[in-house]
């Protein structure tokens, strides 16, 4: 059976990481992998997470299955984190389940959409997270794109986006990034979110909102603004959330999938179908990550500690944006890179050519994706001068 298989190329980002690890240049810089790093380049465990894990060790008395929905406490706390005091919770129109990370949430959502409408079309932004297209197609969905990022002007192509969404079928699904757009870092402002919500209501398509970075942009509530506004406007909606970035739980693979229905009765029906999807994919979700998150969110002391640690990560990323722009200017770069400071979250397109990206890798051991998408968290005070000097030389 295996004899007919041919080796497939490695994932570009994972392949980049492998090259970085083999590089013996002491000045090497990793701007490829999308994980948060502190000033020393380390992805540390949050203090609030350590305390929650210790609580888990001290109190856990069984390893029995927790059921396909996952932990009820985790699901409730995640719903409140996502929606705040939104009416969908008061009206009992939202159902959340635990999933194996944000990717697991998206795959469950994709299979759920296919169950609702076999052969459904889902529209994703151009560009979008590299794994979106593959996991949607693997579920049997048709993937189409709408304009989003204007590469030439380093800005949002909002007119193109809005015009495309107005042509979407009412039976289609539209994927929207809640905040910290991956890979461009370019987010909708509040006025633009309102216009997109109006189009969604008018056209009747189903929004699927991917929120992998809540709290990494402007703040927990600020980053959920567009999602909550959308929930005001439509009767049905899907939200995929992740705890990998904002809780630093990359290895624990914990996320959530939330569906909003027109009524509590209709969403209960949809929830039953969602659970049937889960049953044939992974049957039961992992429990450890959910236990950590629910312990933090249900404890005032740990929650406040998490707020402070999350703010520290957010402020460092935002500070790095201004830092690299200032250093490029100091190195005599005349090209305008100020667009980097107007973006949010982990990523930005530097806007250089693939050849220049390769030159940075070959000559200076600076690693980023060929599209020039760079992870802002990889910048540090200890490497920013070398980074800016190298970019200036390549330019």
Strands 142-147 and 121-126 turn out to be parallel
Query: Is the pLDDT at 10 greater than 80, yes or no?
Result: no
- Alpha carbons within 13 A on the beta-carbon side of 173: 26
**Amino acid 14: pLDDT:** 78
Query: Is the pLDDT at 215 greater than 80, yes or no?
Result: yes
37 vs 34, residue with greater confidence: 37
- Alpha carbons within 13 A on the beta-carbon side of 370: 7
- In this predicted model, what pLDDT tens digit does every residue of 289-314 receive, in sequence order? 999 999 999 999 999 999 999 999 99
Cα 150 to Cα 146, 351, 370, 395, distances in angstroms: 12, 11, 17, 21
Strands 155-156 and 255-260 turn out to be unpaired
Q: For residue 68, which of 274, 261, 240 has the smallest C-alpha distance? A: 274
149 vs 14, residue with greater confidence: 149
**Amino acid 33: pLDDT:** 85
Query: Is the pLDDT at 351 greater than 80, yes or no?
Result: yes
Contact 255, 102 (CB under 8 A): yes
Active site residue 245: yes
Tell me the two tokens of residue 180: 């910290």
Query: Is the pLDDT at 40 greater than 80, yes or no?
Result: yes
**Amino acid 252: pLDDT:** 97
**Amino acid 356: pLDDT:** 97
Phi/psi of residue 192, nearest 5 degrees: -70, -40
- In this predicted model, what pLDDT tens digit does every residue of 78-91 receive, in sequence order? 999 999 999 999 99
Going by pLDDT thresholds of 50, 70 and 90, the confidence category of residue 11 is confident
Going by pLDDT thresholds of 50, 70 and 90, the confidence category of residue 264 is very high
**Amino acid 18: pLDDT:** 87
Query: Is the pLDDT at 116 greater than 90, yes or no?
Result: yes
For range 329-357, the mean pLDDT: 96
Going by pLDDT thresholds of 50, 70 and 90, the confidence category of residue 231 is very high
Query: Is the pLDDT at 71 greater than 90, yes or no?
Result: yes
Going by pLDDT thresholds of 50, 70 and 90, the confidence category of residue 161 is very high
**Amino acid 141: pLDDT:** 98
Active site residue 210: yes
Catalytic hit among 210, 223, 306, 327: 210
Catalytic hit among 28, 37, 245, 327: 245
As a 3-state breakdown, the chain gives helix, strand, coil percent values, each rounded to 5, of 50, 15, 40
Query: Is the pLDDT at 232 greater than 90, yes or no?
Result: yes
For range 265-279, the mean pLDDT: 98
Strands 121-126 and 94-99 turn out to be unpaired
- In this predicted model, what pLDDT tens digit does every residue of 313-329 receive, in sequence order? 999 999 999 999 999 99
Catalytic hit among 30, 37, 129, 193: 129
Phi/psi of residue 8, nearest 5 degrees: -100, 150
Task: Give dist(CA 207, CA 178) in Å, integer.
Answer: 11
Please give the mean pLDDT across all residues of the chain: 96
Helix (H) / strand (E) element for 373: namely strand 373-375
* Helices 288-297 and 72-83: angle between axes, nearest 10 degrees: 50
Q: How far is CA 62 from its chain centroid?
A: 32
- In this predicted model, what pLDDT tens digit does every residue of 183-203 receive, in sequence order? 999 999 999 999 999 999 999
Helix, coil or strand: residue 85: coil
**Amino acid 391: pLDDT:** 98
Q: DSSP string of 28-87?
A: -EE--S-S---TTS--PPPHHHHHHHHHHHHH--------TT--HHHHHHHHHHHHTT-H
For range 107-112, the mean pLDDT: 98
Helix (H) / strand (E) element for 173: namely strand 173-177
**Amino acid 34: pLDDT:** 87
Domains for the chain: give ranges and CATH numbers.
10-44+308-394 (3.90.1150.10), 65-298 (3.40.640.10)
Cα 57 to Cα 74, 289, 295, 319, distances in angstroms: 17, 13, 12, 36
**Amino acid 17: pLDDT:** 85
Burial class (CB in 10 A: 0-12, 13-18, 19+), 53: middle
């Amino acid at each position: 059976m295996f004899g007919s298989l041919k080796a497939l190329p490695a994932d570009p980002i994972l392949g980049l990481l492998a090259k970085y690890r083999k590089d013996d240049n002491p000045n090497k810089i990793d701007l490829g992998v999308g994980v948060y790093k502190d000033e020393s380049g380390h992805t540390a465990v949050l203090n609030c997470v350590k305390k929650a894990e210790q609580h888990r060790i001290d109190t856990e008395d069984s390893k029995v299955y927790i059921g396909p929905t996952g932990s009820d406490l985790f699901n409730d706390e995640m719903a409140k984190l996502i929606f705040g005091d939104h009416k969908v919770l008061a009206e009992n129109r939202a159902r959340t389940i635990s999933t194996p990370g944000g990717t697991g949430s998206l795959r469950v959502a994709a299979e759920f959409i296919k169950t609702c409408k076999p052969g459904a079309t889902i529209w994703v932004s151009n560009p979008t997270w590299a794994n979106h297209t593959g996991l949607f197609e693997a579920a049997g969905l048709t993937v189409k794109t709408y304009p989003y990022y204007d590469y030439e002007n380093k800005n949002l192509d909002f007119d193109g986006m809005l015009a495309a969404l107005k042509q979407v079928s009412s039976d289609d699904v539209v994927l929207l990034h809640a905040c910290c757009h991956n890979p461009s870092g370019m987010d909708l402002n509040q006025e633009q979110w309102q216009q997109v919500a109006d189009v969604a209501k008018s056209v009747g398509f189903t929004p699927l909102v991917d929120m992998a970075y809540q709290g990494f942009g402007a703040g927990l509530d600020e980053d959920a603004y567009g999602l909550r506004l959308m929930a005001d406007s439509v009767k049905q909606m899907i939200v995929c959330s992740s705890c990998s970035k904002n809780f630093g739980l990359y290895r624990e693979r914990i996320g959530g999938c939330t569906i909003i229905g027109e009524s509590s009765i209709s969403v209960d029906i949809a929830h039953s179908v969602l659970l049937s999807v889960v049953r044939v994919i992974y049957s039961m979700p992992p429990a450890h990550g959910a236990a950590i998150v629910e312990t933090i969110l249900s404890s005032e002391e740990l929650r406040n500690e998490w707020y402070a640690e999350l703010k520290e990560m957010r402020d460092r990323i935002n500070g790095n944006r201004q830092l690299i722009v200032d250093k490029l200017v100091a190195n005599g770069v005349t090209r305008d890179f100020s667009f980097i400071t107007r973006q949010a979250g982990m990523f930005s397109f530097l806007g250089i050519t693939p050849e220049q990206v390769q030159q940075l890798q070959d000559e200076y051991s600076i690693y980023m994706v060929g599209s020039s998408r760079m992870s802002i968290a990889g910048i540090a005070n200890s490497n920013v001068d070398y980074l800016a000097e190298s970019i200036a030389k390549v330019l």
